[in-house]
Amino acid sequence: MLLVLVMVAALWGIGMVIGAPKSARWTMIGLLYVAVLGVQIVFPPQHQLVIATGGSLAMWLLIGGVVAVIVVYSSILQRLRQKADNKAQDVAQENAAQELFSDTELNRYARHIVLRELGGLGQKKLKESKVLVIGAGGLGSPVLLYLAASGVGTVGVVDDDVVDNSNLQRQVIHKDEAIGTPKVLSAAEAMTAQNPFVTVVPYPRRLTEEDAAEIIGDYDLVLDGTDNFVTRYLVNEICVALGKPLISGALSQWEGQLSVFDPANGTPCYQCIFSEAPAPGMAPSCSEAGVVGPLPGVVGTMMAAEAIKVITGAGAALRGEMMIYDALWGETRKIGLKSRADCPTCGGKNA
């Protein structure tokens, strides 16, 4: 018996010295216990090994039974403590939500708060977040409406265009009476009408190299729904430099695509995938090639969903993946994306 206790102490001490985890140490002690049981069963009672290890199979079985009871009891206690901690955390989140939100807001966001992946903490993150949307057109329309409806605290809108009659076939945030007014102001009016608890910051301009870093630097997340590559490359460059995640979407006729570019978290950047702008005529605009009206709604809504996931940490955002939606044939597929070692923007640090 004394020999076994010495061996147990030795195994535990050696494990501590070499830095072995407790699970490994307990495993070794368990193997020793099995070996002792084997000695008691295989060898006769008068054998020296049997005598040295206690000389009684019943005693070791009793010890094993007691240890098993203790382990089961400890496991049950640990689970109960975990449940209690989770309950306390849920109560704390609910209390925090109640302090941050008015009763009207709690009722408004109730369907979010009951979601296990979001809850009160997730809704709090949404309210405290600042999101910049570049483009208030086809993709920007559903993105802006759903970010506002979801309770994102501050939404910036960048666009230098005015509402045109030809926009209204797909740019659902704008009304007929808004024709001729700046898109950012039309969008801001629709967003605050939908949710007065959201702060909208309009930027009636096109991003330039002079002001892009200053504007983007004020926000936690950027969504790009523009239709020109000059702006796309500029936004990507600034987002990479500032470590801001970028959700980018694009449309063409019946097909749309989106991805989350976040090199700070191990993904490629936009220019890793689209190394250079296409030649003239190879990527015609919506006015040249056309676009089916609901397509921006589908892709823009997906972008808004990705924004919610990035902000709250729910689920798995499209980092390192591109979602492609074909409305004509009702097909959706995802492809993996890899960083490019010679990328001039991110340097291919994740290649």
3-state secondary structure the chain: CHHHHHHHHHHHHHHHHHCCCHHHHHHHHHHHHHHHHHHHHHCCCCCHHHHHCCCCHHHHHHHHHHHHHHHHHHHHHHHHHHHHHHHHHHHHHHHHHHHHCCHHHHHHCHHHHCCCCCHHHHHHHHHHCEEEEECCCCCHHHHHHHHHHHCCCEEEEECCCECCHHHHHCCCCCCHHHCCCEHHHHHHHHHHHHCCCCEEEEECCCCCCCCHHHHHCCCCEEEECCCCHHHHHHHHHHHHHHCCCEEEEEEEECEEEEEEECHHHCCCCHHHHCCCCCCCCCCCCHHHHCECCCHHHHHHHHHHHHHHHHHHCCCCCCECEEEEEECCCCEEEEEECCCCCCCCCCCCCCC
Domain 123-336, CATH: 3.40.50.720
Where do the domains of the chain lie?
A: 2-89, 123-336
Q: Supply the pLDDT for residue 12.
A: 67
Run means of pLDDT, 10 residues per run, the chain, 351 residues: 73 77 80 78 77 75 81 84 72 64 92 92 95 96 97 97 96 96 97 96 95 96 93 96 96 95 94 86 72 95 97 95 96 94 86 65
The whole-model pTM stands at: 0.73
Q: Supply the pLDDT for residue 88.
A: 64
